[in-house]
Structure 1
Amino acid sequence: MSEEQILSVDDTLAALRAVGEATRLRLIALLAESELTVKDATAILGQSQPRISRHLKLLAEADLIQRFPEGSWVYYRLADGPEGELARALVARISKEDPVLAADQERFQAIRKAKSEEAAAYFAARALTWDRERSLHVSEDDVETAMRAALGDKPFQSFLDLGTGTGRLLEVFSDLYTSALGIDASHDMLAVARANLARSGLANAQLRHGDVYALNVPPRSFDVVAVHQVLHFLEEPARALSEAARALRPGGRLLLVDFAPHELEFLREKHAHRRLGFSRDQMERWLEALELDLEQVTDLVPADETENNLTVTLWLARDRRIVTDLPSRDTSLEVA
């Protein structure tokens, strides 16, 4: 263990005192699995918001958890430092069959399912006009031009588009890849995407229904993975990034496109956004944890800066593993 990961006796005692209470231990167990808001924690633990907020404050003061304000919401997650590692170690030694924690987990999964169904209903209702809705915020032509510039003109073998939506990126990069796969959780979106690909005559691009949190693709199988305007809809964007990184071949590239931080709260209620953009620091921290090297960051600021216009940011990262013996081309990508 490095010197930075070692706690002093006083810090260790402070951390243990902070977690040595039933509600706070339950919170730590939940945060070991996912980020949570106060509202989420209140619903899961069945306690008042002031009480939950107080417990979270004590855990934050002990450096066990971190607090990340985002618009009118605040997300909490386990800290990255030695206190956070101590919390993870404690949780790992608690029985998964403990009735209190099992009930918490059941309620947590119910909340997660409800949010997923809410997002799915949103996409199903808007599948036919999805591309037009995207253009309300920033020019998609400019975004696609920037994405092309980031990847360059050199052809590559395999392309994976996560949250493919109407399949637009499969068309945009069709002259660069040999084979491509678009994955989306919405059957309605996939129906539109199939119609679009058929109209474009793209025979080397396939579509599949799937979950960005649990990709049914072989590991180390794609040269380029794109996640275009998807992360802000997700409750756990870091978890989706981990799956995307798993799919990358050594030396492969991950292209992320999403909004820079903003304060447009109405996007949560009217457009099912879960996150109000992502900062450069936050994204770099996530990518570093996945052993991806950030090579390029590009901000696309709208020329007409009205209150409802959003800046789009592109992040291009590369898998730092050395390219040696790459797996053979996968032939199991069947059309869903």
Structure 2
Amino acid sequence: MTGRETLTVEETLAALRAVGETTRLRLMALLAEAELTVKDATAILGQSQPRISRHLKLLTEAGLILRFPEGSWVYYRIADGAAGAFARDLVSRIDSSDPVFAADRERFQAIRKAKADEAAAYFAKKASTWDTERSLHASDNDVEQALLAVLGDKPFQSFLDLGTGTGRLLELLSDRYASALGIDASHDMLAVARANLAKVGLNHAQVRHGDIYALNVPPRSFDVVAIHQVLHFLDDPARALAEATRALRPGGRLLIIDFAPHDLEFLRETHAHRRLGFGHDQMQRWVEALDLKMEKVADIAPKTTQENKLTVTLWLARDPRIVTDLPVADPTREVA
């Protein structure tokens, strides 16, 4: 099915046939709440993995749900467009007090809580490292306020957060975008991000496992692409910037947040930093090489007189290509 606002008669009949079975209707009700893996669905519905996989395959073929591989796991979610609207409307009309569906929701909430607890434990284990690094630079609040100011108040359609980590930018900008995708190479960090997004009820943002050097997203599909405190971990920042630029729509903006140049060599050993910050001239050269126009640069210095404190710099560049009325790809669709 397509991203149109309506379904053809054939698509409608296919959708009705797909949901016309108890297990598949139960799966649709669960997927209307959140993304699920086959393992999740198997635990909730108490059925075998092959059986659950078959039902998910039929729903996918009918265009009602989408399938997203992530390493050895596969996530499923409600489709976009008219098919997704049809599925959500259908689920909303089911009696919420039905004992079968109520029991499914109860088991689903138990699984969600277990995952949140697991993610919280991982975050706590890593928190001391992250807090040490945070203490070395301008406060998160100052950086976030500067970030919001640089982007401005005007809403935009689609947002891509590269190296999303805990999903903080997805949450911070949630009232600015219509849809968002966060990508990270760490499965553990994605678990943290999913738990955080679920905690605040943020359902118009997704997170995916991916490689910042080879983004599995359609080209020219995002209005804003952010790379927040990621480049200093990379061996080839310019390559990552080029890949991020590929995802920008004409007129789209690339937001880069990272450290200004510094000499804290211990960050290489204790925090796996590859680069000790980036200067304005260096970033300007990279941006110009990508045919982008640098629009704003802001330095956020720490509010302290102590030595060995890092300045954070925000760079905002724009793709100067003219926006046309040509159709663009669904930004959350994975590409082969």
**Alignment TM-score, normalising by the size of structure 2:** 0.60
Letter of the 2:287 partner, please give it.
Answer: L
Letter of the 1:292 partner, please give it.
Answer: L
Unmatched tracts of structure 2, length 5 or more: 1-121
2:185 paired residue number: 185
3-state SS of the aligned residue for 1:202? coil
Superposed CA deviations along residues 167-226 of structure 1, whole A, max 9, x for unmatched, are 000000000000000000000100100000000100000000000000000000000000
Question: Quick one: structure 1 residues 326 and 182, their matched pair in 2 at CA, closer, same or farther if it must change by over 3 Å?
Answer: farther
Q: Distance in 2 between matches of 1:130 and 1:182?
A: 22
Q: Distance in 2 between matches of 1:130 and 1:207?
A: 23
3-state SS of the aligned residue for 2:165? coil
1:203 paired residue number: 203
Superposed CA deviations along residues 57-95 of structure 1, whole A, max 9, x for unmatched, are xxxxxxxxxxxxxxxxxxxxxxxxxxxxxxxxxxxxxxx
3-state SS of the aligned residue for 1:188? helix
CA contact (8 A) 2:222 2:331 kept: no
3-state SS of the aligned residue for 2:315? strand
What's the offset of the Cα at 1:308?
2.5
How many matched pairs?
212
3-state SS of the aligned residue for 2:294? strand
What's the offset of the Cα at 1:306?
2.0
Q: Distance in 1 between matches of 2:281 and 2:320?
A: 19
Q: CA RMSD in A?
A: 1.9
Q: Is 1:132 aligned to residue 131 of structure 2?
A: yes
1:227 paired residue number: 227
2:150 paired residue number: 150
2:272 paired residue number: 272
- Within a 5 Å distance, the mapping from 1:100-119 to structure 2 comes to none
**Alignment TM-score, normalising by the size of structure 1:** 0.60
Superposed CA deviations along residues 279-309 of structure 1, whole A, max 9, x for unmatched, are 0000000000001000000000112132221
CA contact (8 A) 2:296 2:316 kept: yes
Superposed CA deviations along residues 223-273 of structure 1, whole A, max 9, x for unmatched, are 000000000000000000000000000000000000000000000000000
Question: Quick one: structure 1 residues 316 and 299, their matched pair in 2 at CA, closer, same or farther if it must change by over 3 Å?
Answer: same
Superposed CA deviations along residues 92-116 of structure 1, whole A, max 9, x for unmatched, are xxxxxxxxxxxxxxxxxxxxxxxxx
CA contact (8 A) 1:134 1:140 kept: no
What's the offset of the Cα at 1:327?
3.2
Q: Distance in 1 between matches of 2:127 and 2:281?
A: 35
3-state SS of the aligned residue for 1:307? coil
What's the offset of the Cα at 1:136?
1.4
Question: Quick one: structure 1 residues 124 and 327, their matched pair in 2 at CA, closer, same or farther if it must change by over 3 Å?
Answer: farther
Letter of the 1:321 partner, please give it.
Answer: R
Q: Distance in 1 between matches of 2:318 and 2:164?
A: 21
CA contact (8 A) 2:162 2:183 kept: yes
Q: Percent identity?
A: 71
Q: Distance in 2 between matches of 1:329 and 1:163?
A: 22
Unmatched tracts of structure 1, length 5 or more: 1-122
What's the offset of the Cα at 1:132?
3.3
3-state SS of the aligned residue for 2:175? coil
What's the offset of the Cα at 1:324?
1.0
1:313 paired residue number: 313
1:218 paired residue number: 218
CA contact (8 A) 2:181 2:332 kept: no
Q: Distance in 2 between matches of 1:192 and 1:129?
A: 16
